[in-house]
Amino acid sequence: MVGRSRIERCSVCGMRMLVLPLASTVQCHACHSTTRLHGPRESATDGRSQPDPVRHVRGWLRGLFSSNAASVSGSFGGSSTRNRNLTYGDNGGSARDWPASFPTTRAKKRAVLIGVSYSSRLYELKGTVNDVNCMRYFLSEKFQFPKHSILVLTEEESDPDRMPTKENIRAAIRWLVRDNEAGDSLLFHFSGHGLQKLDLSGDEVDGYAETLCPLDYEEKGVIVDDEINATLVRPLRQGAKLHAIIDSCHSGTVLDLPFLCRMSRGGFYQWEDHTPRSSEFKGTSGGLAICISGCDDSQSAQDTPTLSGSVPTGAMTYSFIHVAETDPGTTYGRLLGNMRSIINGADAQHLGFTGPIASFMKRVLSYGIKQEPQLSASEMFDIYRKPFLL
């Protein structure tokens, strides 16, 4: 999602960072170097600004030494998740490895819904809590998810254990996947900011790891796709199914799933093999994981009232619920295609134009919503034959 901030690259390692509009300097959470800013520059999301490869190497070396230091000290701060030897999320904990206030009854259908507003900050988002409330109603009323098995984390919760902090999000993921078994249908929804950072492990096709930004990411660090894969994807057992609905920037491969579906504007599709070049396993333990994300890794997702008419929502969350509700029995291919159509036509609808004139106005007025929801999975399938089921 896009707030009032902008994205800049670290001058040393090239990591993409969220920068406050009036900031003159920014410190990189990856290599801890300080970059001096000279006013708004070209956005890192448009793909034209590329970091210096020499600085990439310098940043990688600095990040390597920082990771080793974090491993020795046992710190889990902003840079510690770069070290692949760390245990993500304390997976080997007790039978109940989450706060006592989390739901004690976990049905066959259960969900974790997270909306991060970053309240009172310059990059605050207005639609994330609306996204969560809509998703909660949608799941319980349309797909029979029991209300007592839907765990919500937002800044409007009175329970401190249900604030969308980094550790609470980690605990919520453990709650969701612990002891999953055949017949379970799990859903993970995140609405908030997402960033990219330089990949230090060599397993990213584009050289960047995708991340989610918890409420306290400036102090505790982001949640990296490697960790999300290890804690949310890999524990899925035979017969269990996970859907991840991720409404954030740079979220195309945020679950690090092995296969990414590339769909053309004409509806033709092709699966890309994103199996890492390293030997690290990125699939499940026999289950099925499917991620529907707000945009490609190089794109931004929108927080806007345009689609709903007045209430701010995430464009991706709104289009997902709208299509799934109005087209019962839809396939994954139709779901993805119709979501893209809704988002691409949002600015023309807002102006009141339809038909050929709407397409013309969209080309002339180049401020429309520009994001393409993506589909990735732990296995390949025919997207026009496989029905979308939660």
Closest CA to 222 of 236, 206, 210, 240: 210
Which residues contact residue 156 at a Cβ distance below 8 angstroms, ignoring those fewer than 6 apart? 129
Provide the angle, in degrees to the nearest 10, between the axes of the packed helices 332-344 and 315-326.
130
Q: Which of the following is catalytic: 10, 213, 249, 295?
A: 249
Pairing of strands 313-314, 303-304: antiparallel
Exposure letters 131-146 (e unless 16+ CB within 10 A, then b): bbbbbbebbbeeeebb
> 148-157 burial, b for 16+ CB within 10 Å, e for fewer?
ebbbbbbbeb
10 catalytic residue (yes or no)? no
> Which of 189, 193, 243, 250 is labelled catalytic?
193
| DSSP E strand stretches across 226-283 | 241-247, 259-263, 269-273
Coil, strand or helix: which one is 80?
A: helix
Q: Helix or strand or coil: residue 34? A: strand
38 as an active site residue: the answer is no
What is the sign of the dihedral through the CA atoms of 229, 232, 234 and 240?
A: negative
Cα 9 to its chain centre, rounded Å, is 20
How many Cβ atoms sit within 10 Å of the Cβ of residue 293?
31
Contact 290, 375 (CB under 8 A): yes
Which amino acid, 236?
L
* Residue 316, C-beta contacts closer than 8 angstroms, at least 6 positions apart: 245, 247, 292, 293, 294, 295, 301, 339, 343, 371, 373
Question: SS3 for 19?
Answer: strand
Residues carrying an active site annotation: 193, 249
